[in-house]
Amino acid sequence: MQSLLKTQLNPLVINYIQKITKFCDFWEFSKDLKKDFYSSLKKTVIITSAGASTRIEGARLTDKEIEDRLENLKIQKFKDRDEAEVVGYIDCMNYIFDNFKDLTISEYTIRSLHSLMCTYLSNDIVPPDQRGAYKNITNTVVRIDHSTGLQEIIFQTTPPGPQTDVQMKQLIDDYNNYIKDPHYNSLIVIAAFIVKFLAIHPFRDGNGRISRLLTNVCLLRQGYEFCMYSSHEKVIEDNKDNYYVSLRQTQSTFTTSFDLNPWLIFFLKTLEIQTDQLKNKLIPKKKLGTTTKYEAKIIELIQEHQPVTIGFLERTLNIKRVTLKTILRRLKAAGIIEMEGEKKGSSYKISGVVYVQI
């Protein structure tokens, strides 16, 4: 991990981290507004994440099919691999969400999650002695052309046996050292950990799914609790091609000069999309009828930077103050924004959102 963390960062990385950090400040003062709503949202996210994470690997069940089948499933009775994988993933998600404060990034945690995830898979897919155990066979990452049957090697993973054992121990030690080091941003350390984990590919089966479960553990442990309410697995599924390209671009540098940027930018962009999705749920949408270009831009700016002054909007949009005042009155009358403070020191925020300046 040390070589990955020495990467000269693309300026986009800093931009993404600042946006995510800003959202975290907003989240801390907004998350308790609708406790019942977010309790329900968490349940939905678990199903969405399980469906998306297994579909990334080739499963076919939709979220609706998962929800319907869960109501009727009898434990240990699954008609296909898709069902077994989804239920195993749901068990892991519930376990992580309920216990993340007590979990550590350790071999025990990683092996336990793998064992739990494989609970319902048949023995021909994952033999009993390979559940929660590092691989005993080579698992090179290949691309298969289903029309011809030809296989192309995409990435050579770490060989089974002592090499996997040693590299996993080193990876876990590195993560736990760097995540406590104030000189390194936690999101960068998490991204480096995940891309290296996938390069090792320590398990016979399920490495992609385990990597996404570990992402949840790492983020929650570092205080990014918003990820329980917006699925990063779903964002990855929606951008699957870019997901694999970014992984391969970074992993292809492992034999030359390490470059974390391709994967790190994708990883942070995924988190930014999650925060945008949550902002849209946190901030009530109110109908304004036909929204002009300036009205839409003002709403966007207030949402992004609230609370904002009229001076800030004037400088940013470069429009006359008299025009700006007219638009703000209209948005306020529609109940979309509200004004705080006296006229001279007043500021604007989206209506119904509690915001604390820190």
Q: What one-letter code names the amino acid at 23?
A: F
Q: What is the pLDDT of residues 72-107, one digit of tens each?
A: 655 556 667 888 899 999 999 999 999 999 999 999
| Architecture category of domain 293-350 in CATH | Orthogonal Bundle (1.10)
- The answer on pLDDT for 324 being more than 80 is yes
DSSP state of 241: H
Give the model's pLDDT for residue 352.
57
Beta bridge partners of 71: none
d(CA 199, CA 123): 25
Taking the domain 2-282, which CATH number applies?
1.10.3290.10
Give the model's pLDDT for residue 354.
38
Of 43, 28, 50, the C-alpha closest to 229 is: 43
pTM of the predicted model as reported, rounded to 2 decimal places: 0.77
Q: What region, left, alpha or beta, does residue 206 occupy, with left being phi > 0 and alpha being psi -120 to 50 degrees?
A: left
pLDDT band, very low/low/confident/very high, at 69 (cuts 50, 70, 90): confident
Interval 30-40 mean pLDDT: 65
Interval 110-122 mean pLDDT: 94
Beta pairing class for 141-144 and 337-340: unpaired
Give the model's pLDDT for residue 305.
80
Token pair for 153: 């090697």
Backbone dihedral angles phi then psi of residue 138, each to the nearest 5 degrees: -70, 140
pLDDT band, very low/low/confident/very high, at 53 (cuts 50, 70, 90): very high
Token pair for 15: 């931009």
Q: What is the pLDDT of residues 225-260, one digit of tens each?
A: 999 999 999 999 999 999 999 999 999 898 888 999
Interval 323-336 mean pLDDT: 85
d(CA 283, CA 68): 30
| Domain locations along the chain | 2-282, 293-350
